[in-house]
Every structure is written in structure tokens, then in C-alpha cells.
């Protein structure tokens, strides 16, 4: 089992700072933005639309796609656009890094590095982000056990980086009606085993925008430390993940409801 | 795909009446009780302890156990004890039936018949309860797709019984830290495809009592029409499922919090 | 864990006799026939076509179908046709029983009772066939662990019936290109844990006729005690499972190849 | 779906040359060696012991381990030892590469680059080996669909490297008695969809040495183009995967039996 990531090693909850945002504290944290950064206008408009409700702006510049013929992201150009949109909206940023060779490049532009589900056991990459100063958002692999996920956090932490935030995004099962099966139990199980914060990404779990809200609210009720949600100003024209993206207006309504549910869930803890 | 169970066939939500309790309406319904009925004292005490918070009393008299050498339930004697405890507490009752040959017997004593996960595709049993006048609680099989689950409801309905309530209780995945993986997405997916009410059983999904509350609250946030929770006055001495059973006091606290979360989730629907 | 079914309880291999056929001995046993019995002509022609290569004739009269609107089988009429076709071809017969109420009826007509995957944990049915004198073919549930499968055999054996033959038919996974995932490892694992014979049904695992042969040969190489294969004289017109049914001629070629592979695999055991 | 990897794009079977060994032709290819290269003596002894039966020597120098505290391999030193052992035994070599940064280094020492299951969707790595001249052994991810696996081959091929060999090594399911569930159906399914050769690794699928032989023979019967098996001269002292490693003597017996089964399976193809 894990050491540095375990609750046995460190009893109090870890709080990870990203820009001026604290993840893991009393307040839930909301990360929003497009799956892929497509243009200055696109990411800028989305950032402006969510800035009152989201705390951190997300956007993919290096996209891991199942097909080599799918849109692979704008690379460094995308990172520049994300950084600018974040600065104009007053939001810190997070973006995925897919190769050890790109860690320094991505770290120049963003406030938090994301490790995607496909790379959860890309140990060379984990070690590299472990030696980088930036906080890390570590998604669960599609067929990773919770123990393996925590061991991947351990890879990052054992290289000297304690600022790891976990993100549950659904696992692969036999059920075809959802893209993945959100393992909502992972939230309380991780909180029991580890001191690290755990977020939920309902967008990838659902695969359809109309399932995002119930899953997001469920995550808040289960005690998640925040949400990462895909938001797009024109989902029908998105270059990736359009069907599971929310419009900004709907997203902002979701955040308000999520806050209320989360406050109730937090109150629960102090009562019992 | 299903016909009678589909939202396309009947647009408005079905409300199923069990005794004087309505499942599927504005108010969430809470079903509680022991996994197995063990004695008059046991089921009576639990019924009295939960009666202010639960609407329906559950208890198993015919227990489907993986091993033939495990406690198999008190059979008819258990049903008599359950009926008496329900009457004294003013609660209608639900109990599992595992064989077509027992349907009439069980139906004499209880207000609702439960079909367990292992029997979700026991079509002879489904047809028999479809020809019985009692409402049916149909649990999802451990590896059943949502479509197969709805087709099993269709078996019951096509025999003339429209009073079917679905119950999600976790599916089997590779994750060993929970007994089953609660498929929380099934709640909104079923509500989209079908007019039937859907409950959640967090006890079997979790397998551990301390996971029951977060999963129960998540179910409420996702819009479930109610909860079925295992409650025992002496979990350490329970003849089955002790580790996942709540003490009555904790259960009652859970119900109060669940109601608040559910009210928020319901309010959401009218706002958007 | 299981008792009566375990290798620890009984070291030597169990040999189950069905008519004059021995399952579990040196020679592999081949069961063949249509998914559903459709007419006297259909089952009779198939029986005649396979009789030189198959040892036991299969055919479904009570069909467990996901939809109540699918063909449900000819019931007793089908059993009469199966019995007659078997007698004319000189083959003992096996057919599925799906309800405790039908056990005596089915047992009147066939030499072996089949418990299907959906009913592997239908304990009332298992107990009933355990009290019936006929040998039982017990299919693995689609998400049953090997241990649970052996415990279901234990249910039958603990009622006094030692003549249980196991049948692996594929489990449910995330892979969509096959109907189920044949768990070939189950063959040697069961042989290690239990003294009961284990067959393989490549037809249900594959879902497509052109995968049946490689899976059947793999089963022989892994040491399976026999094969159950769906054969139809007009697959395109079959009322169920046509796409995975072999034509009789192809089936007979398969059996010959399977015998050779099996002989090599058996020789292995004595050499090491 | 894939293009360059598809049977529709190229009808005839692809034959991949590794040193003087041809993978994908009439003769099955056997790859053997230790999980981890531990010392000159260890890998040298194993190479000498298997050289009459294996065609290619395997050994891990960069080991992807779930825990950062487990043995991580000897890195370049291990590659030097593997190369020497291969040269002395007259065997070409294969070893895993886990990071784009290491591709050139590993390619200096070995004849074939292995992409492990955890890195099947490490697209930066796939692209890098796609631009390297060496043939690639691409293992299936533990929860990858066959279509995703072929798309990963497509990543390599679309960068200009047509020399890809696929390797099935088991997928993750709910069954705890085996380390993974060998998806034997993947062999004929891949042969149907693609022109690329497909090997089977029974060692990782089984997790126990006594299951390796039946799974290996099953793979041959299903038409696999070869086997990759872990062999160790002292399994009890192995630094990784000892329990699933065969002793050299047993391995050589396995190869002889595998050849016979494979010859039968190949004969089948020409007959029908």
C-alpha cells in the first residue's frame, strides 16, 4: 500500500494551493473549461462566462486521442491561449501533459499539471511531474483499482511533490448506456485511506451533457472536494467531447446547486 | 427495448402504492430493516426504532446465500414475525421471494414482493409475480445492463402487473475495496428511459456501514425516489450482512439529511 | 469454499454417466444440437446429421429470453420432439429447466438437466435438481466467480446429487466484439479446485459461428472434458442464436480436429 | 476504425522480421526470458537453457511497477546484459521501453521494442517508436478494447513503422483466481480484423506457473502466431513475477507440445 499518500502517514487533510485557490478545504473547488482549446475566442469566451462560478480554468492543448487521425490539440499555441484567457478572467489554469519531454513546457504556462486516465501508470511521466514544482491533478485510470491510483500518487509524492489532487472520472464496465461508470464510492473510500483531496469529473463518466448535473450533485453529496466539468460555448461545434459539454449558463446554475448540496454534506460531518 | 416500461409508452411518472405509502411521487420513500429476520424481538425492536423515519419495513425470510451451509432464513415463520412487527409499528412490509412456488405464500404476509439481484432474470419467477396483485421491488442483477433490467420489469408488466419499482444495488467490477460498485448513473438513465420509480440500496453496494451514508446521500442528489437500507439493532451479532448494517439511531440521522438533499435535488428540476 | 465439490474432499476425477455416455473420463464428450427445438423435422434432421460425431443431443424447450416478446420455446411439446429425435439417433439428451415447478416434467423426457447461466444462483431450482435423480449440466453465470460457481454445484450436491458437470460459457466484460469473453483459464482452475468435469460452450462465448472453431480447439488444448456447441441445419432461419450456430457438416469437421487436439493435450498430462 | 492495421487495407498476413526470426509466418515464434534482468549470470543461464527452443530472448531493464518502492530494473546496465546474453546464445532480443526519452537508448541494444500494457495508450511513446526503425511488440492494455488496441498499432504505423506485433496478455475482470482473464477470443478476432501477427503472453494472464501451460496450448489451438513466456532459473528468488515464471526445463517441454498443437491448428486452416 501507499505510504506518503496514506491517512496513516498524515492524518489531517492535505490542502493543495493552485494560484490563489485552495483545494481540499471547507469550500468545494470548481474547475471548468473546454475539452480542447480551439481558438483565442473560444477559450476566452468560455473563461469569461464561467469566471464568476469556476475557480480554475481547464483546457486541453495536448490531447490523447484513441485515433492518430483525430484532432490532437494545438500544443504550445493552445497553452499560450489558455494562459491568456486565464489571466484575463483572473483564473489559474490546468492542462494535461502527456509526455515527460513536455513537462517543462507545459509547466511554463499553467498553474496545475493534469495526468490523464490513460497515463495514470505512465511512471516516467509521474516521476517527471513529481520533480516539477507544480501541483498535479491525477485522474484515475479507466480500469485502475483505488489502491493502484494511490500508488500512482505515491510515485509523484516520492519524488518530492506533495501537491497531488485525485480525480475520479469513471471506470470501464459492461454497461453501454454511459461512457464510463462513475465510481461514486471512490470518494469516501479515498477520503478514508488518504489525506489527499479528491475531485469528480462527471463529464467523462457520463458522456452525455444531461447526465452531468445529477452526477455532479451526487459527487457533492458524497463529499467530493470539487468538480471538473467540461464547458463549451458551442458544444455542437466542439472539436472533441461536444456531446458531454455543458453550456456556460447551465454550468453556472449547476455550481450554485452544487454549493448548496455540498454545504449540507459538510454539515453532516460535524453533526455526527 | 422495453415497451410497457418505457417513457415512450407512458410519459408521466408511475406512482406505486404500497400500503398507504406512495413510491415515485414528490416525497422520497425510505425502506429499512434487517437483512434477515432472526427473531420476534429483533425485527420488532428494529421496526419500533425506525418507524418515525422509515415508511416500509424490510426483512428477509427466504435468503439466497452463495453457500448452502449459510443461514437460509426462517421461511414462513420469518414472514409471520415481519408481518406482526410491521403491524405493530404501522409500517407496510417487503420481503424477497426466490421461487415461483413461494409467491402465493409470501404474498399472504407482505405488502410488496422483492425480486433479488440473483433472480433478476429468473423469468418463471418474474411471470409469477406479474400475475400476483402485489407491487414488486425489482433489484438490478450484479452484471445486468440497464436495458436488461428494464426488460425484466417488462416481464412483470406484460403479465398484468404495472406496479414495479426498480432498485439499483451495485454492479460487479474489478474494484475490490467495495462489495459492489454503485452505478449512480443508473438513476438518471432509468428516469430518462422509463416512467418507473427507482430506489437505491447503498448497503449492498458498499458492503461497509461507513460507506452507506455518503452513497445514500449521493443517490438522493442524483434524484432517486427513495432508499432501501439495512438496519440492525446489533450488527455484530447479525446472522447476515452485519458489517453493512446501520444502527437505528444512525439510520434516522441519515434519513433526515437525505430528505434535505432530496428536497434540494427536486427543487433543481422545477428551476431549469 | 465448497466441500463436496472440492478436490480436497474427493481427489479422483468424477465421471458422470448420461445414458451410456461418460463425461470426465479419458475421452472428450461432444454435446450438439439447436439452441431451440423448433419442429420435429428440424431437431430430427440435426440429430441425424451429428449422430456420428456428437454423443449427446441438446435442444431448448424452455428458453430464458431477455425479452418477454421473444420466442419462449415449445415447452413440453419441444421435449417430446427432442426425446424422439434422440431415440431415433441413438443419443441421450439434455435440455434446460428454468423453474422448480418444471423439474419433474423435464426430467421425464431428458437424460440430463441443464441449469442456464441466468439461473446459476437460482437456489430453489438448484435444490430441486439436487433432489432429482438426473445428472445436471451447470453453466457458469455471466458474472459469477469460479468460487460462486462451485458453490452452486455444492447446492446440488448437498441435496444428494453428485452428478454435476460444469460448463464455462463466457463472462461479461467491457469487450464489445464478442458476445461474452470465454474465460479459458476457468478450465484448468476448476480442474485444480474440483473433481467435477468441466465442459466449454464456445457458441455463447463467441456469438458468431466463425469464432466457434478456434475457441473450441482452445478449450480442448486447455484440457476441457468436452464441448457443447449449437448446431442448426438452417442457421439463417433459426428462431434463436442463428448467428452463432454451426452447420452440421462444419460441426463434424470441428469434432475430428478437436479430438486430435484433445489427445495431444491428454498425452501432455502423462508425460510431465 | 484503424486503416493501415486493417485487413481491409492489406489482405495478406504481415510478417515481421526480428533479427533472423520471422513472426507471422507458418512457424510459431517463441519468446522467452526473465521478467527482469537481474545479473549477467541470471540472464546468461536462462538464455543458454532456452536457446534450443525459444527464438527471441526477452528481459526487462525498465520495469513499470505499481509501487515506486518496488525493484525498477537495472536500466542501461540491464540492456547491456541482455544484449550480451542474446549474442552468446544466438538469439535476438526484446525489451520494454517506458518513456519516449529512452527509445533511442533501448533501441541501441535490442532487436525489438516492447510497449507494455500500461503504456498501450501512451501516445507520445507510440509515436516515438513509430519513428524508430525497430519492430515493436505492442501489448494490449488491461482494459483496452480490441478496437483501441488496433488504434494504438495505427499510431505506430502512421509514423512510418509497419513492423508491429500484437500481444494479448489478459484483461481485467471481476474474477480473482487469476491475475488477469486471458481473452483467447482476441486471437481469432484480431486475425479477422487485421493483417498483423498476434502473440499470447500466458504468464501475465495466469499469474501462476501451473496455469501457463494450458493457456499457452489454448493460444496455439486458437491460432496465435507465437508465445511470450516468462522463464526463470530460480523462480523463488526472482525480483519480479517469480510465481508465474517457468523453469527452463518445463518451458522447453511446453514448446514442443505447443508446436504440435499449432501444427494441427494450422492444418485445419488449409482443410476447410
**Over the stretch C141-191, which tens digit does the pLDDT of each residue have?**
999 999 999 999 999 999 999 999 999 999 999 999 999 999 999 999 999
Distance, in angstroms, between D53 CA and closest chain C CA? 17
**Continuous segment of H or E residues that includes residue C96:** strand C93-96
Whether residue C255 is predicted with pLDDT greater than 50 in this model: the reply is yes
Confidence of residue D174 (pLDDT cuts 50, 70, 90): very high
A146 closest CB neighbour out of B175, B213, B268: B175
Task: Please judge whether A172 and C176 are an interchain contact, meaning their C-beta atoms are less than 8 angstroms apart.
Answer: no
Non-local (6+) Cβ contacts of B8 within 8 A are none
The ipTM assigned to this model is 0.95
Give the chain D residue whose CA is nearest to the CA of B180: D174
Query: pLDDT tens for residues B19-57?
Result: 999 999 999 999 999 999 999 999 999 999 999 999 999
Whether residue D185 is predicted with pLDDT greater than 70 in this model: the reply is yes
Residues of D in contact with B172 (CB under 8 A): 174
How far apart are the C-alpha atoms of A85 and D76, rounded to whole Å? 44
Task: Please judge whether D211 and C185 are an interchain contact, meaning their C-beta atoms are less than 8 angstroms apart.
Answer: yes
Confidence of residue D269 (pLDDT cuts 50, 70, 90): low
Distance, in angstroms, between C246 CA and closest chain A CA? 27
How far apart are the C-alpha atoms of A98 and A75, rounded to whole Å? 11
Lowest mean pLDDT, pick from A203-212, B111-120, C88-97: A203-212
Give the chain D residue whose CA is nearest to the CA of C191: D211
Query: pLDDT tens for residues D52-99?
Result: 999 999 999 999 999 999 999 999 999 999 999 999 999 999 999 999
pLDDT of residue C271: 43
Distance, in angstroms, between C152 CA and closest chain D CA? 16
Does D7 reside within a domain? Answer: no
Distance, in angstroms, between A168 CA and closest chain D CA? 17
How far apart are the C-alpha atoms of A102 and A83, rounded to whole Å? 16
Its domain, for residue D45, covers 16-62+73-242
Does D163 reside within a domain? Answer: yes
pLDDT of residue A190: 98
pLDDT of residue B87: 98
Does D264 reside within a domain? Answer: no
pTM above 0.90, yes or no: yes
pLDDT of residue D272: 41
Residues of C in contact with A176 (CB under 8 A): 176
Residues of B in contact with D172 (CB under 8 A): 174
For D89, phi then psi, to 5°, come to -95, -5
Distance, in angstroms, between D224 CA and closest chain A CA? 25
Query: Average pLDDT, whole number, for chain B?
Result: 95
Interface A:C, Cβ pairs < 8 A: 6
Query: Average pLDDT, whole number, for chain C?
Result: 95
Task: Please judge whether D173 and B176 are an interchain contact, meaning their C-beta atoms are less than 8 angstroms apart.
Answer: no
Lowest mean pLDDT, pick from C19-23, C242-246, D257-261: C242-246
Does D149 reside within a domain? Answer: yes
In a mutagenesis test of the B interface, which of C98, C122, C181 is the best target, namely the one with the most B β-carbons within 10 Å?
C122
Non-local (6+) Cβ contacts of B241 within 8 A are B35, B36, B203, B204, B230
pLDDT of residue A267: 80
Residues of A in contact with B264 (CB under 8 A): 257, 260-261, 264
Whether residue B268 is predicted with pLDDT greater than 70 in this model: the reply is no
Whether residue C269 is predicted with pLDDT greater than 90 in this model: the reply is no
Query: What's the number of domains chain A is made of?
Result: 1
Q: Which residues of B touch D (CB under 8 A)?
A: 172-174, 176
Task: Please judge whether B176 and A145 are an interchain contact, meaning their C-beta atoms are less than 8 angstroms apart.
Answer: yes
How far apart are the C-alpha atoms of B136 and C252, rounded to whole Å? 48
| pLDDT over 90, % of chain C | 93
Confidence of residue C48 (pLDDT cuts 50, 70, 90): very high
Nearest to C109 by CA among C75, C139, C65: C75
List of chain A residues with pLDDT < 70: 268-272
| pLDDT over 90, % of chain D | 94
Q: Pinpoint the alpha helices (H) of chain D.
A: 40-50, 76-89, 103-109, 123-130, 146-157, 186-193, 202-206, 209-221, 248-271
Q: Which residues of B touch A (CB under 8 A)?
A: 143, 145-147, 171, 173-178, 181-185, 187-189, 192, 205-206, 210-211, 213-215, 217-223, 250, 253, 257, 260-261, 264-265, 268, 271-272
Does B8 reside within a domain? Answer: no
pLDDT of residue C266: 83
Query: Residue B186 in contact with residue B202, Cβ under 8 Å?
Result: no
pLDDT of residue C139: 98
Does A42 reside within a domain? Answer: no
Nearest to B130 by CA among B105, B99, B102, B153: B153
pLDDT of residue A176: 94
Give the chain D residue whose CA is nearest to the CA of B174: D174
Whether residue C194 is predicted with pLDDT greater than 50 in this model: the reply is yes
Distance, in angstroms, between B76 CA and closest chain A CA? 36
Does B261 reside within a domain? Answer: yes
Which residues sit opposite D115 in a β-bridge? D138
Residues of D in contact with C175 (CB under 8 A): 145-146, 171, 183, 186
pLDDT of residue A269: 52
Instruction: Extract the runs of DSSP E, i.e. beta strands, from chain B.
Output: 16-18, 21-23, 29-33, 56-58, 93-96, 112-115, 136-139, 164-168, 198-200, 226-230
Q: Is C229 exposed, middle or buried (0-12, 13-18, 19+ CB in 10 A)?
A: buried
Task: Please judge whether B181 and A178 are an interchain contact, meaning their C-beta atoms are less than 8 angstroms apart.
Answer: no
pLDDT of residue C241: 87
Whether residue D238 is predicted with pLDDT greater than 70 in this model: the reply is yes
Residues of A in contact with C173 (CB under 8 A): 174
Task: Please judge whether D145 and C177 are an interchain contact, meaning their C-beta atoms are less than 8 angstroms apart.
Answer: yes
Non-local (6+) Cβ contacts of B265 within 8 A are A214, A217, A261, B220, B221, B222, B223
- Kindly report the CATH number assigned to the domain that includes residue D185: 3.20.20.70
Sign of CA dihedral D65, D66, D68, D71: negative
Does B5 reside within a domain? Answer: no
Query: pLDDT tens for residues A99-128?
Result: 999 999 999 999 999 999 999 999 999 999
Amino acid at each position: 500500500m501507499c505510504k506518503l499518500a496514506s491517512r496513516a502517514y498524515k492524518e489531517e487533510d492535505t490542502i493543495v494551493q493552485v494560484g490563489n485557490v485552495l483545494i481540499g478545504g471547507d469550500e468545494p473547488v470548481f474547475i471548468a473549461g473546454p475539452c480542447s482549446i480551439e481558438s483565442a475566442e473560444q477559450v476566452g469566451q468560455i473563461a469569461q462566462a464561467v469566471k464568476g462560478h469556476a475557480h480554475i480554468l481547464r483546457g486541453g492543448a495536448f490531447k490523447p486521442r484513441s485515433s492518430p487521425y483525430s484532432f490532437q490539440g494545438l500544443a504550445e499555441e493552445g497553452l499560450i491561449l489558455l494562459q491568456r484567457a486565464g489571466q484575463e478572467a483572473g483564473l489559474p489554469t490546468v492542462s494535461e501533459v502527456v509526455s515527460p519531454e513536455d513537462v517543462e513546457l507545459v509547466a511554463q504556462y499553467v498553474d496545475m499539471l493534469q495526468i490523464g486516465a490513460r497515463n495514470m501508470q505512465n511512471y516516467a511521466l509521474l516521476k517527471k511531474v513529481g520533480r516539477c514544482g507544480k501541483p498535479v491533478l491525477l485522474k484515475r485510470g479507466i480500469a485502475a483499482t483505488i489502491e493502484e491510483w494511490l500508488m500512482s500518487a505515491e510515485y509523484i509524492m516520492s519524488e518530492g511533490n506533495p501537491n497531488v489532487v485525485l480525480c475520479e472520472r469513471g471506470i470501464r464496465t459492461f454497461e453501454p448506456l454511459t461512457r464510463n461508470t462513475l465510481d461514486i464510492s471512490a470518494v469516501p473510500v479515498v477520503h478514508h485511506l488518504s489525506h489527499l483531496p479528491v475531485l469528480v469529473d462527471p463529464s467523462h463518466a457520463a458522456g452525455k451533457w444531461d447526465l452531468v448535473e445529477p452526477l455532479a450533485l451526487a459527487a457533492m453529496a458524497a463529499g467530493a472536494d470539487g468538480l471538473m466539468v467540461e464547458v463549451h460555448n458551442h458544444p455542437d461545434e466542439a472539436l472533441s467531447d461536444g456531446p458531454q459539454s455543458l453550456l456556460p449558463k447551465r454550468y453556472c446554475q449547476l455550481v450554485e446547486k452544487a454549493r448548496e448540496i455540498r454545504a449540507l454534506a459538510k454539515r453532516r460531518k460535524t453533526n455526527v
